[in-house]
């Protein structure tokens, strides 16, 4: 395998890539400079532009059938830093470009700019939301492992305080625990990067991939980087920080944290094993990752069944759904590799939309009833049918019932695991689907029966529609045409992990 010269030279249209990072970053700076009263409008005003850039990048990748490349200041790697967008990056940029505005529109009620005095919570919320968007774009586009480290850290620093905006002790403690796990992850990631640089003298992904050989320094670096990323992705057993941090955050923040932020570090695990370390024999590490994923599916689902609060239940279901993401790794070599890759990516996107819809709905439930105890949900679906429709449709995707993006994801992964003879993963995924059905039944069955309770205030129609729209996107992903899966393969080495 030699260096593909097209991977380090800038392509036409590549100058869109820095825009995807700079526009939200500009929003962060403007929000600080011009002041808190206008942060909301800066964020909302720039979001259509950010989405347009994501669409333009996806169109260009689609049209050329090649990854887009941009070299910063015109210096090609190894001297300079490259930004690259392949099919997977483009799809993740679009996902972030849709979910961030949905969460922002929903949050306008909770974080409205006060008419008189400047308040801290709205300013911080709107600034950090744009910070998360900028960091995610950097993570999805970065072509250099150290540059990706900076993106990963920006993502952590923007995400951690978002969960603790109300300043209650339990949310601050949850944010602190999240930060400590994330810092553990950063140091491991950075140490792995140092070892890789020491071994090969470059950190550019395209230049590194052909140099990598299965030798001790590389295995150690791979283990350190993966462990660090798993701590940030909250894969079992490093998930302990996630449920309190996501469940106690304001609903709009939970949607972004659960839907998008954990996908950022997952994206880098895929980059690492599929692009940087494609030359390593991937069966044993893939089996370890999928084993942890299986444990996450079973453990997260069972704990979700035992929760007393709706938002904690949804947070534990995130722990379980993250497990499915890692099922793609042992299946990534062989004729079924494309199915496994598409399944993993589909799971990342459909979970992002479904979980954002569910957290936004759960926020509406908590605001309308004044609590989110599952025992007190009797008849609530009669009082707010649209909210529970969004919750239920999101749940459909989590269970993996057709028609939903979750169904397509789990179907592709199960198909790949059966085709490769690795039956165990298919059994775990089926069991996870049944358990997901169980914990959703616990919420939906009482909500659909009994007397309609008195609401403190009915949920606003516009906010219900946002949650419903996200759930419908998760549903519509079931109808993704074959060309969508071909799009995901753009920029992928044809053999995947199959080089051993």
> Among 333, 372, 374, 383, which residue sits at the site for another protein (rule: CB under 8 A)?
372
Minimum distance of another protein from residue 133's CB (angstroms): 19
Minimum distance of another protein from residue 477's CB (angstroms): 28
Q: Which of 133, 37, 137 is nearest to 85 (CA)?
A: 137
Minimum distance of another protein from residue 229's CB (angstroms): 16
Regarding 190 and contact with another protein (CB under 8 A), the answer is yes
> What would you report as the CA-atom Rg of the chain, rounded to the nearest whole angstrom?
22
Q: Are 184 and 239 in contact (CB under 8 A)?
A: no
Rounded Cα distance between 46 and 128, Å, is 14
Q: Which residue intervals of 236-384 are DSSP H helices?
A: 242-248, 251-256, 262-270, 283-306, 310-325, 337-369, 380-383
Minimum distance of another protein from residue 350's CB (angstroms): 25
Q: Which is nearer to another protein, 78 or 438 (CB)?
A: 78
Regarding 153 and contact with another protein (CB under 8 A), the answer is yes
Regarding 374 and contact with another protein (CB under 8 A), the answer is no
Regarding 183 and contact with another protein (CB under 8 A), the answer is yes
Regarding 161 and contact with another protein (CB under 8 A), the answer is yes
Q: Which is nearer to another protein, 171 or 417 (CB)?
A: 171
Regarding 164 and contact with another protein (CB under 8 A), the answer is yes
> Among 1, 34, 59, 187, which residue sits at the site for another protein (rule: CB under 8 A)?
187
Minimum distance of another protein from residue 93's CB (angstroms): 24
Q: Which is nearer to another protein, 65 or 201 (CB)?
A: 201
Q: Which is nearer to another protein, 80 or 450 (CB)?
A: 80
> Among 184, 219, 411, 484, which residue sits at the site for another protein (rule: CB under 8 A)?
184
The widest CA-to-CA distance across the chain, in whole angstroms, is 68
Regarding 108 and contact with another protein (CB under 8 A), the answer is no
Regarding 234 and contact with another protein (CB under 8 A), the answer is no
CB-based burial of residue 72 (10 Å sphere; 0-12 exposed, 13-18 middle, 19+ buried)?
middle
Q: Which is nearer to another protein, 62 or 197 (CB)?
A: 197
Among positions 235-264, residues that touch another protein (CB under 8 A) are 244, 248-251
Size of the site for another protein (CB under 8 A): 56
Q: Which is nearer to another protein, 252 or 345 (CB)?
A: 252
Helix axes 262-270, 337-369, angle to 10 degrees: 170
> Among 1, 9, 59, 180, which residue sits at the site for another protein (rule: CB under 8 A)?
180
Regarding 175 and contact with another protein (CB under 8 A), the answer is yes
**Cross-strand bridge partners of residue 85:** 68
Cα–Cα distance list, 417 to 300, 302, 340, 349, 433 (Å): 21, 23, 8, 20, 16
Rounded Cα distance between 364 and 374, Å, is 14
Q: Which is nearer to another protein, 371 or 382 (CB)?
A: 371
- Match 């950022």 to its residue by tokens: 264
**407-410: long-range contacts at Cβ-Cβ below 8 A with a sequence spacing of 24 or more?**
407/478, 408/343, 408/346, 408/350, 408/477, 408/478, 408/480, 409/324, 409/343, 409/344, 409/346, 409/347, 409/350, 409/351, 410/324, 410/343, 410/347
Binding segment for another protein among 133-141, 165-173, 394-402, 441-449 (CB under 8 A)? 165-173
Minimum distance of another protein from residue 188's CB (angstroms): 9
Q: Are 311 and 475 in contact (CB under 8 A)?
A: no
Q: Are 413 and 370 in contact (CB under 8 A)?
A: no
> Among 179, 296, 297, 320, which residue sits at the site for another protein (rule: CB under 8 A)?
179
Regarding 465 and contact with another protein (CB under 8 A), the answer is no
Minimum distance of another protein from residue 395's CB (angstroms): 20
Q: Which is nearer to another protein, 19 or 128 (CB)?
A: 128
Helix axes 385-399, 405-419, angle to 10 degrees: 10
> Among 110, 127, 226, 294, which residue sits at the site for another protein (rule: CB under 8 A)?
110
Cα–Cα distance list, 415 to 28, 251, 339, 403 (Å): 44, 35, 8, 17
Regarding 146 and contact with another protein (CB under 8 A), the answer is yes
Q: Which of 404, 406, 155, 154 is nearest to 263 (CA)?
A: 155
Among positions 114-143, residues that touch another protein (CB under 8 A) are 119-121
Binding segment for another protein among 67-75, 176-184, 231-239, 430-438 (CB under 8 A)? 176-184
Among positions 195-224, residues that touch another protein (CB under 8 A) are 195, 197-202, 211
Residue 80: half-sphere exposure toward Cβ, Cα within 13 Å: 14
Rounded Cα distance between 137 and 141, Å, is 6
Rounded Cα distance between 198 and 190, Å, is 12
Task: State the residues that interact with another protein by CB under 8 A.
Answer: 110-111, 119-121, 146, 149-150, 153, 156-157, 160-161, 164-173, 175-177, 179-180, 183-184, 186-187, 190-191, 193-195, 197-202, 211, 244, 248-251, 311, 363, 366-367, 370-372
């Amino acid at each position: 395998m030699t260096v593909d010269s097209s991977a380090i030279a800038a392509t036409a249209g590549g100058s869109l890539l820095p825009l995807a990072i700079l526009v939200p970053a500009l929003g962060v700076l403007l929000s600080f400079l011009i002041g808190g009263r206008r942060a909301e409008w800066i964020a909302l005003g720039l979001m259509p532009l950010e989405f347009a850039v994501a669409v333009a990048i996806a169109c260009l990748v689609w049209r050329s059938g090649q990854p887009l490349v941009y070299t910063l200041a015109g210096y090609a790697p190894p001297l300079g830093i490259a930004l690259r967008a392949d099919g997977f990056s483009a799809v993740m940029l679009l996902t972030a470009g849709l979910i961030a505005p949905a969460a922002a529109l929903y949050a306008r009620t909770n974080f409205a700019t006060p008419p008189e005095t400047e308040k801290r919570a709205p300013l911080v919320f709107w600034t950090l939301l744009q910070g998360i968007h900028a960091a995610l774009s950097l993570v999805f586009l970065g072509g250099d492992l150290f540059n990706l480290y900076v993106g990963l850290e920006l993502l952590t620093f923007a995400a951690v305080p978002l969960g603790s905006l109300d300043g209650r002790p339990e949310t601050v403690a949850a944010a602190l625990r999240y930060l400590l796990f994330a810092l553990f992850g950063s140091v491991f990631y950075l140490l792995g990067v140092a070892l890789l640089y020491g071994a090969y003298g470059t950190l550019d992904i395209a230049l590194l991939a052909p140099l990598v050989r299965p030798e001790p320094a590389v295995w150690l670096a791979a283990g350190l980087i993966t462990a660090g990323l798993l701590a940030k992705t909250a894969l079992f057993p490093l998930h302990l920080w996630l449920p309190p941090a996501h469940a106690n955050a304001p609903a709009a923040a939970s949607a972004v944290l659960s839907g998008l932020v954990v996908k950022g570090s997952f994206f880098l695990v895929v980059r690492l094993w599929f692009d940087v370390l494609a030359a390593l024999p991937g069966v044993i590490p893939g089996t370890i990752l999928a084993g942890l994923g299986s444990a996450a599916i079973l453990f997260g689902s069972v704990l979700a069944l035992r929760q007393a609060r709706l938002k904690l239940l949804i947070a534990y279901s995130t722990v379980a759904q993250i497990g499915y993401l890692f099922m793609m790794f042992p299946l990534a070599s062989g004729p079924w590799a494309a199915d496994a890759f598409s399944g993993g990516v589909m799971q990342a996107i459909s979970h992002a939309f479904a979980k954002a819809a569910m957290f936004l709905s759960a926020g509406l439930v908590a605001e309308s009833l004044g609590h989110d105890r599952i025992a007190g949900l009797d008849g609530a679906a009669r009082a707010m049918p649209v909210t529970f429709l969004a919750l239920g449709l999101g749940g459909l995707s989590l269970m993996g019932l057709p028609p939903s993006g979750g169904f397509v994801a789990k179907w592709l992964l199960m198909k790949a695991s059966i085709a490769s003879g690795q039956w165990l993963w298919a059994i775990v995924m089926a069991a996870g689907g049944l358990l997901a059905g169980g914990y959703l039944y616990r919420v939906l069955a009482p909500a659909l029966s009994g007397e309609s309770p008195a609401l403190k205030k009915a949920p606003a129609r516009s906010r219900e529609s946002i949650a419903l729209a996200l759930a419908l996107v998760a549903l519509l992903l079931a109808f993704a045409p074959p060309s969508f899966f071909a799009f995901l393969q753009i920029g992928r080495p044809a053999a995947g992990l199959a080089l051993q």
